[in-house]
Amino acid sequence: MGAFFDELWSSILNFIKGYHLITDTLDILLVAFTIFSLIKLVRDSRAEQLIKGFFLLGAAYVAAHVIGLTTLKYLLQVLFDNALILVAVIFQPEIRRALEQVGHSGFSHFKIMGLNEANATDYINQWKTAIAATGSAVGQLQREKMGALIVFERHTRLGEIAKTGTTIDAQPTGELIANIFFNKAPLHDGATIIRDGKILAASCILPLTDNITISRSLGTRHRAGVGMSENSDAVVVIVSEETGTISVAKGGELQRDFTIDSLCQELENEIIWKNVRTEEEEDTNRFTAWLRKGGSK
């Protein structure tokens, strides 16, 4: 027993002597963060069940090796030899979502410092017009008990989604958006995408979420809105056809029971003011305050 502890202590000392404080610590932290991110990605999704299946297959392989089940061991060995390809195929939606999240997190802020004050004001006014038109249309649709699904594109480009619908490329008005979702209109099925404050396309098909925690009382429209917010950084407005309830999906989360005023405020905060950045925080505060006042001194 003494020899075991001596060997253990010797191993600990060798590890400490060979430990490089900066590089090894950074390596451990990056690996821990990667593992945490993977767990967070697959939690409460279809991937979680698939991973459990892989672990069961691994246990079956060990059992086949111990008992001596040659054929089963051979089949499982072939399966694990091609595991990388299988993982890429089976987890394609999760891998794509992870890469998209990496792509639009931390590097996608719109910076005012390439625009002069006039251009920045035009940009913000365009979005304010689109948001006001959306509020007007949503209020009308809510009163008429007609559903709506409106996607506000931010940094993740939604060209592939827009191609599934009909190109509009028009200035937004409350009447136009409401007419799109009129229940006898040819474009009312699907989602309308708004890019840079203009209506890009209508009747677009959105990906549905795999989130099993969403209430079963919510239909396809809400699941499509959440799915779009999972696969991009878009903000999605959903109006329930049955109840007229206004919901907003962003980052895979669904927030409900908005009023028209709170909806417009939420859209302005998410689409406009979160994207206003300058090089100096002091300049940001002054310039943002100036823009919020409409450019008046």
Mean pLDDT on 85-100: 69
Q: What is the domain-level CATH number for residue 155?
A: 3.40.1700.10
231-245 mean pLDDT:
91
Do 52 and 191 fall into the same domain? no
State whether 37 and 151 are in the same domain: no
Amino acid at 213: T
Statement to judge: residues 284 and 202 lie in one domain = yes
Does 113 have pLDDT greater than 70?
Answer: no
Among 190-194, 222-226, 290-294, the minimum mean pLDDT is found in 290-294
Q: Which domain holds residue 80?
A: 2-104
pLDDT for 108 equals 44
Note the pTM of the prediction, 2 decimals.
0.62
pLDDT for the residue 248: 95
- DSSP H helices in 43-181: 46-67, 70-81, 83-90, 92-104, 117-144, 159-162, 174-180
Separation of alpha carbons 193 and 198, rounded Å = 9
Q: 57 and 189, same structural domain?
A: no
Residues 6+ away with beta carbon under 8 Å from 13: none
Please check whether residues 86 and 65 belong to one and the same domain: yes
Q: Give domain status of residue 207, yes or no.
A: yes
Output the DSSP codes for 35-80: HHHHHHHHTTSHHHHHHHHHHHHHHHHHHHHHHT-HHHHHHHHHHH
Q: How far is CA 263 from CA 31, 122, 256, in A?
A: 40, 22, 10
* Helix 21-42 / helix 46-67 crossing angle, nearest 10 deg: 110
* Domain shared by 125 and 178, yes or no: yes
pLDDT of residue 6 exceeding 90: no
Residues 32, 48, single domain; the answer is yes
- Name 236's bridge partners: 151, 249
In this predicted structure, which of 13-17, 134-138, 163-167, 177-181 has the lowest mean pLDDT? Answer: 13-17
| Confidence at residue 107, expressed as pLDDT on a 0 to 100 scale | 44
Listed in sequence order, the residues at least 6 apart from 24 whose beta carbon sits closer than 8 Å to its beta carbon are: none
- Indicate if 99 and 132 belong to the same structural domain: no
Give the C-alpha separation, 44 to 18, whole Å. Answer: 40
